[in-house]
Structures are given as structure tokens and as C-alpha cells.
Structure 1
């Protein structure tokens, strides 16, 4: 009887463990939803930190998400301009080349004071008033496209201004810019963390297909992220449609290194 009872307890403990693991998987550290057409609070409540399109949120909605201890980041495009933005017409004179893969978007001249005022004063002021904890800075890759000291210093200046306003900053992509700030020792003063897309997966814009990242690129990104983490930065990863087996590998990888990651269903991040 005692043996059977012990076996029964073991089975019960195993079942409870499985149930607890399943429950834990209902909540996640990090999610990026910049392509959402509207506020989907039920979805966001499953995440400890969320990145959202700020135009879809009122200050009351932001505060309501923060009440549970959630960190809410506003998406801020620092290096390019989309035609859909209501202020686009006023900034046509700062537009440069068309953005590959995104036909309704152009790179911008970040050295122009006009553009810098939009980013660090107009946009940042609105997001601060709405109560966002931080900013998810996109398209610092403009420095890779237009590789000049003036572009580099302009990006650093804008990030420093945003940081002084009390925002926590996550820089998405921009590995060329990030690597240079790591070399000159300015990274920690300018931003708090980095986000890298496509470390293990990728999206082929020409074929409009999701797939696995090349081994060479994965190895490059792994080394790059390791340097960022060693410098004391938070590290985040966004993958696209990682399958079950690959997701387990990414889970283990992020657990080992102290990274957070999000598995997106679509390149549109909705």
C-alpha cells in the first residue's frame, strides 16, 4: 500500500508540475505589438513588458496597463519616416532614399535640426505626457546606410536628450551604431538595452517567406549580443514564426544568457 501511495503522490506531483509549467507559459516577459491597429488589452496583459504603437493609446490606457507593474514602451522611429504619419508632409524635405522592403517609408537626414526637434521634443513630449515608461527606438540603422561622423553624432545627441527626459531606452537593430558606441564607451550613457530581430529566424522580403537565419548571421548576432550584455545592457530578441523545436532552443539560449525574447506571428508585429 505504501509503495502504491508513493507512486500515486509521484504521479500527482508530476501532473501538478506539468500544469504549473503550462500556466507559466501563459505569461511572457516581453512582447512587441507595433503593428496593432487598435488597443488589445487582453493580449498585452499576458506580458510583463510591451512595446506598442503610441498613437493607439490614451494616457488612461497606458496607466491602466502600468497598474499591474507592467512596463510599457512607445515605438519611436528615429531614422526613417512613413508616409502614413500625419506630419509626413511637413518633413518631406528631410527624406532621403526609399527604405528597401517598405515602399511607403524613407530614410531621413537625422543631422537636420528640424528632424531632431520632432523626435526629442514633439514626439517625446507627447509620449511622456501619456505616461510611457520608455521608448523603443527604431532605425538607428540609418548610420549603416549613411555612414558619416555627422550621422553618428546626431543619433548620439538625440538618444542623450531622450535619456535626460527620464525614458528607459531600447534600441532596435542598428548593430553598426551600437557596436561603435560599445567601442567608444558611450553605450550605457545613451540607452539601457538593445533589441535584435532575426537572430535565429528571418523574413525574406523578396519571396515574402519566413525561414531560418543563416548560420553565419546567427553566429554574428550571438557574438554581438554577448558583447552588449557584457557591457551591462539589457538584451531583447524578436523572432518570426519560430517553430516549437526552435522555440525550445531559443528559450534555453535566452535563459543561459539572461535575454528576453518574443516570437512574433507576423512581420507586421500585430
Structure 2
């Protein structure tokens, strides 16, 4: 065997090994029976038993991920893919032309132009690499429904579907399972592109019907409602059982406090 042929064989072997590692890393998918929690602000509660917990990409340390994994928990990193956040360490990486109107209710966030795929890609690529390096198993991209809001850009549903599918593809390049966040009207178009769904306040908004598509595809749905009013919680839990989705009740700040979990 010549040196050239031998080198080629080694390179091919390394490529196959790498591909196998990525496939192994991305083969995990969440299960509807895993107890879900989401915590994005301190104080965290990482002692409470969970099967899958979503945590902020930047504010969670690799050591915390290791501790959770040692307990058998899976982890998802939170990434705001549709808005610029002024306090993030990579905030200066966003070109000014990408930053649009303020996000209603969140004064330090502004929508971004999701059509600028190259510029956003460079930023999100680094975030996904960090997510993978810290040891997360999955990613949840937030604010992926800009087309339905006043962003300052002429976005439409077609733009949003293309962007969301691109996000899912990018996540899988890093071996991460990927969640669709809200975007209820686009669920029929995107259910095949995502591994699970995280929905906020859909019962209080009477907007949970589209979630059926994920359950019919045997994909998990985790719903978060922001209330601790008992009569509402009881009614929403009944609705969640009928839809076969998991429902938890949290504070709006998404810290470590858990009001309740539907039985």
C-alpha cells in the first residue's frame, strides 16, 4: 500500500469515526414521561429530581451539567434565537442593521432580522458550540415566531419556517436534540423538523390545540403556565391530561421555584 493510499484510508476512517460520534450524540431524544423543569434565572434549584431540565446557556456551568448528569438528568440549553439581548457576552457581535424593535415587556431585548442568515449564523454557531462543549443534550430556541410580531422587519411565515428549519439543522450538526418553542400556528409545518415542543401559557390563551400534532407524531410536549391560582391549575391539569402533555406551573421569572406539577 502506498503512503498516499494509506493516508487516505486513515482520513476516511477518522471521518467515519467522527460521523459515528455525532450520530451517537444526536441519537438521544426526550421522552414524554421524563419530568421536565425549566430554570433561567437564579436562584436555581438543581436538587429537585427531574428527567429533563432546561437551563440558560451562558449562566450554567459545565460543573452543574456534570452534577445533573450524574443524577441521571438530561439537559437542554436555552438560546434566544429571535431577539438580541443587551446583557449577553456576545451582544456586540450583532450588526446594528440586524437589531429591530424592542421586545414587548422585555426592555433589554430587541427582535432581530432572521433573514440575515449569514450574520446570525456566525453568532449562533458559537452559541451551539458552547452548548455542546458544556455538555448539554438538547437546545431550545426561543422567540422563533417573530413573523407574528412587530419586529421592525417585513417578516412573513415563509421566512420564519425557513429560519426555524435552519435552526433545527444547525442544532443537529452539533449532536443536539432540538425543541420548538411556542410558534403554535407553524406547528403543522414544523412538527417533523423538531424533536419536542416547549409551550408557554397555551392553556391560559386557549391555544393548545396545535400541540396534538406533536403527540400524534409521538414527540413530547412540555407546557409551562405562569399561575398559582388553584382553580386555574386544576382546570389546566385536566386539559393537559386530555391532550396527553406534561404541564408545570412556574413563576414568570423562571427561577428555581416550582408552584406545582400536574399529577
- 1:230 corresponds to: 216
Taking structure 1 as reference, are residues 254 and 150 closer, same or farther at Cα in structure 2, changes over 3 Å only? closer
- 1:114 corresponds to: 119
Q: Deviations over 1:194-245 (max 9, x none)?
A: 1221123xxxxxxxxxxxx3xxx41xx2321123322333111110123223
TM-score, structure 1 normalization: 0.73
> Deviation at 1:38?
5.2
1:126 aligns to 2:111 (yes or no) = no
1:177 aligns to 2:186 (yes or no) = yes
- For structure 1, the residue ranges without an aligned partner over 5 or more in a row are 1-27, 182-186, 201-212
> Deviation at 1:263?
0.3
| Selected match of 1:30 from 36, 41, 56 | 36
Taking structure 1 as reference, are residues 67 and 89 closer, same or farther at Cα in structure 2, changes over 3 Å only? same
- List aligned pairs for 1:187-266, cutoff 5 A: 187-188=191-192, 190-200=193-203, 213=204, 217-218=205-206, 221-265=207-251
* Larger relative contact order, structure 1 or 2 (CA cutoff 8 Å, min sep 6): 2
- List aligned pairs for 1:46-195, cutoff 5 A: 46-91=49-94, 92-112=96-116, 113-119=118-124, 121-145=125-149, 146-147=155-156, 149-181=158-190, 187-188=191-192, 190-195=193-198
Q: Deviations over 1:114-168 (max 9, x none)?
A: 112211x200001101100111111111232321534431321121121232211
- 2-structure distance, mates of 1:149, 1:199: 23
TM-score, structure 2 normalization: 0.74
Query: Which sits farther off after the overlay, 70-79 or 147-156?
Result: 147-156
Confirm or deny: 8 A CA contact 2:147 2:159 kept in the other structure: no
> Deviation at 1:30?
1.6
Query: Which sits farther off after the overlay, 96-105 or 149-158?
Result: 149-158
| CA-based RMSD | 2.0
- 1-structure distance, mates of 2:186, 2:245: 20
More helix by share: 1
> Deviation at 1:79?
0.7
Taking structure 1 as reference, are residues 39 and 223 closer, same or farther at Cα in structure 2, changes over 3 Å only? closer
- 2-structure distance, mates of 1:116, 1:31: 28
- 2-structure distance, mates of 1:222, 1:149: 22
